[in-house]
Structure 1
Amino acid sequence: MRVAVVGVGGVGGILAAALESAGQASVTLVSQGSGLAALRRHGLTVRTLEGRLHHFAIPQERLLSVDEAAASGEAHDVVFVTTKAQKMTSALDSLARLVGPSTLVVPCMNGLPWWFFHAAAAPGGKHTGLRLWSTDPTGRLSREISFPKVLGCVGSIAGQVHKNQASWHCQWPSEKNRLVLGDPAHPGNGPSDRVKTVAGLFQDAEIPVTVTHDADIRSKIFDHLLIHSSINAIAALSRGDCGQVVDDHSGEELLRDVVEEATAVANALDPPLRLSLNADDIIDMYRGQYGLRPSMLQDADSGRSIEKDSVVGALVELASQVGVETPSLKVILHLLDVMDSAASQRAGFGAFYDLSSADLPDRIRNMNYEIAP
């Protein structure tokens, strides 16, 4: 069986290593830039929280750039999409060439997926067929990734790429690595054959990933959205890790406000969702988790664009559609927009002088400046 992992960041690297260690399939990694160069130079190395070191010398022919993947035209049986949601559209050209008539596409990303309100996934409701600008701004995702090929996925993988991009570190115990899968095109009481196929890819993996099934995958995805719109976004803005956010009175209070607003949005949807998480659950989940750095915080610290539109932006846009007020979410979205814009300007300043941020003197890196139109 041929499997591709598109996007080898914190999540993609851990998933790719788990798949490679299981040995159930030939795994192709699609990356770009310095990340791809590091993979070609060093291979894929993962250190678990328990201290175990796993190294995989991936053959060069299975390490592809986005352009090489687009030119290959070689369809795979399963494609895991682990890019940031904001990069999904730009990855479409390569993704389309990896997908054949019987390929399963498993988007393992944060936020609301583009198919969330597809007629087959959410039949017979007032919001069936709704397309959100924040999750599919051009409509290309809906047009070019056939809904019947998609498996719904909620990924709980806490990985971080080491600064020199030579290794990946797991941020929590291996037994907490989980994928929850659902087949929105074939809803039923038990896992479909498609879900069983994907679960089998992780059998006997040295880096364990537990795969479970949930028939109501849309509700599970929204549960996950509660987490990322609250603790993930607050961590990025405050630069505090998960433990610091929930152990701070103001952090906890803001988290509760955000979860209350997001839950109100979920409760206004038709067809309805059945959420299983609330603010207390999320706080208990992350209480004392010092050092656990969620993805938005990692991106903010690295000056990368933040995965905000499909998470916070989707909730704000959806709230406007269903008539729910979300003042806290709106403020968080505005602040994340400003943070993203400032990071982009700093990156542009460094690129103009052929410098990385690390190369700039503190007085320049931290200065306030304007970019002339």
Structure 2
Amino acid sequence: MAASGKSSICIVGAGAIGGLLGVELSRQGHVVTFFARGAHLAAMQEAHALKLIKPDGTVVQSSADSVFTGSLANVPVQDVVVLGLKMHQIASVLPALPGIVGEHTVILTTQNGIPWWYFQEYNGPAEFRNRTVEAVDAGGALKTGIDSGKIIATVVYPAAHISRPGEVVHVEGVRFPVGEPSGATTERVTRVSGMLVAAGFKAPVLADVRGELWLKLWGTVAVNPLSALTHATLDELCTVDYSRAVVMSVMREVEAVAARLGSTMRVPIERRVDGAARVGRHRTSMLQDCEAGREMEVQTIMGAVVELAELCQVDIPCIRTVYGTVRMLAHVMRTQRVRICPIALDAAGK
């Protein structure tokens, strides 16, 4: 960190959440490099800015000294590296990470689901320590390629999406709680929390970041695949009685797996579901991927939970049913090279 208190920050994966973080951090004077690809990158480079539309409609953009790149090769060592990629995309940047990660660099992880580092720096049951979560890190490439001692985790609660290349819409939410995987309260996690708070987010330091990951995943395992399968929005899934029943059945099974691994949920199921319903007509990330024809985070969000349930010998019949069905959806999308999205009927019902 510079003497001014401002940091060099690289957003590795400047999509919806990475872009949201990057814009707001740059507006606090940090020097932010946005790493992206395709039309999104091209639009940012042309405008030399990433536009952010806030929940109240206010439009802001990244600072004038921001950098936009499709290659990490020429990016210098950073104070903070925000891994904004989805879990299955991280392996593609592993060879380039050593060039931007130095002795004192912090790696802030933002991924949904059970992370590859879950059993590293782990204080839960000794029988599980240092295991590889194969569903999200087959062969342990991420586990061996990313120093777990540099990781600070954040649990992402805001909803955001890319409305068009070069433009991110922040729908709602400002919570990015952070924590050391070891549970320690360190100078660096306090510093990262302070950076996020100064940028307008709520970022308390957690003593049990895995517990918070489970709290987020608790609902995600239920609503993300069901939204992709049904094209229902978050409020519909959590309020229509028959879908709400499935959501709650999945959540009870997730809770049982988390408990076996030493984590307990700090709110009742009903309160968690009601909170999700209040988000409104939000299309989950898996639904957005389904409709855009992108690879869905099936293994990250569901496969890892199935793997951990098997490890813990916890019965999860409802999760297995939803998991098998959404895997079939992903298979159809991949083999037929299609995106699956609703087509509105006209007034005649055609």
1:180 to 177, 180, 201: 177
Look up the match of 1:367: none
Alignment partner of 1:240 is 2:232: yes
CA distance in 1 between counterparts of 2:231 and 2:119 reads 33
Q: Is the 8 A contact 1:259 1:278 kept in 2?
A: no
Q: Secondary structure at the match of 2:81?
A: strand
Alignment partner of 1:211 is 2:203: yes
1:250-309: CA deviation from partner (whole Å, max 9, x where unpaired): 21011011001111111222xx11321442122110224432122111111111111121
1:208-267: CA deviation from partner (whole Å, max 9, x where unpaired): 212111101111111111121012222122111101111111210110110011111112
Alignment partner of 1:107 is 2:109: yes
Q: Secondary structure at the match of 2:139?
A: coil
CA distance in 2 between counterparts of 1:117 and 1:357 reads 36
Q: Is the 8 A contact 1:8 1:29 kept in 2?
A: yes
Q: Is the 8 A contact 1:22 1:203 kept in 2?
A: no
Q: Is the 8 A contact 2:158 2:174 kept in 1?
A: yes
Map 1:105-184 to 2 at 5 A. 105-118=107-120, 120-122=121-123, 125-162=126-163, 164-172=164-172, 176-184=173-181
CA distance in 1 between counterparts of 2:75 and 2:33 reads 13
1:228 to 217, 220, 223: 220
2:188 to 175, 194, 201: 194
Alignment partner of 1:282 is 2:272: yes
Judged with a 3 Å threshold, the aligned counterparts in structure 2 of structure 1 residues 288 and 31 are, in CA distance, closer, same or farther, namely same
Q: Secondary structure at the match of 2:128?
A: coil
CA distance in 2 between counterparts of 1:36 and 1:152 reads 26
Query: Given residue 335 of structure 1, which amino acid in structure 2 is its aligned partner?
Result: T
Displacement after TM superposition at 1:122 (Å): 2.5
CA distance in 1 between counterparts of 2:268 and 2:128 reads 23
Displacement after TM superposition at 1:93 (Å): 2.0
Alignment partner of 1:318 is 2:308: yes
1:82-119: CA deviation from partner (whole Å, max 9, x where unpaired): 1111111112123332211111111111011111112x
Query: Given residue 171 of structure 1, which amino acid in structure 2 is its aligned partner?
Result: V
Judged with a 3 Å threshold, the aligned counterparts in structure 2 of structure 1 residues 200 and 267 are, in CA distance, closer, same or farther, namely closer
Computed over aligned residues only, the root mean square deviation of the Cα atoms, in angstroms, reads: 2.0
Look up the match of 1:30: 35
Alignment partner of 1:2 is 2:29: no
Q: 7-16 or 48-57, which moves further after superposition?
A: 48-57
Look up the match of 1:353: none
Displacement after TM superposition at 1:184 (Å): 2.0
Displacement after TM superposition at 1:144 (Å): 1.2
Alignment partner of 1:21 is 2:13: no
Look up the match of 2:17: 11
Judged with a 3 Å threshold, the aligned counterparts in structure 2 of structure 1 residues 95 and 319 are, in CA distance, closer, same or farther, namely same
2:244 to 222, 228, 252: 252
Q: Is the 8 A contact 1:306 1:340 kept in 2?
A: yes
1:262 to 254, 265, 287: 254
Q: Secondary structure at the match of 1:79?
A: strand
Look up the match of 1:365: none
Where in structure 1 do 4 or more consecutive aligned residues deviate above 6 Å? none
Judged with a 3 Å threshold, the aligned counterparts in structure 2 of structure 1 residues 45 and 265 are, in CA distance, closer, same or farther, namely same
CA distance in 2 between counterparts of 1:223 and 1:193 reads 25
Unpaired segments of 5 or more residues in structure 1? 350-355, 359-373
Percent of paired sites with the same residue: 24
Query: Given residue 146 of structure 1, which amino acid in structure 2 is its aligned partner?
Result: D
Q: Secondary structure at the match of 1:126?
A: helix
1:29-86: CA deviation from partner (whole Å, max 9, x where unpaired): 11112221121123211111211111236557x2111xx20x2262111111111111
1:344 to 334, 340, 344: 334
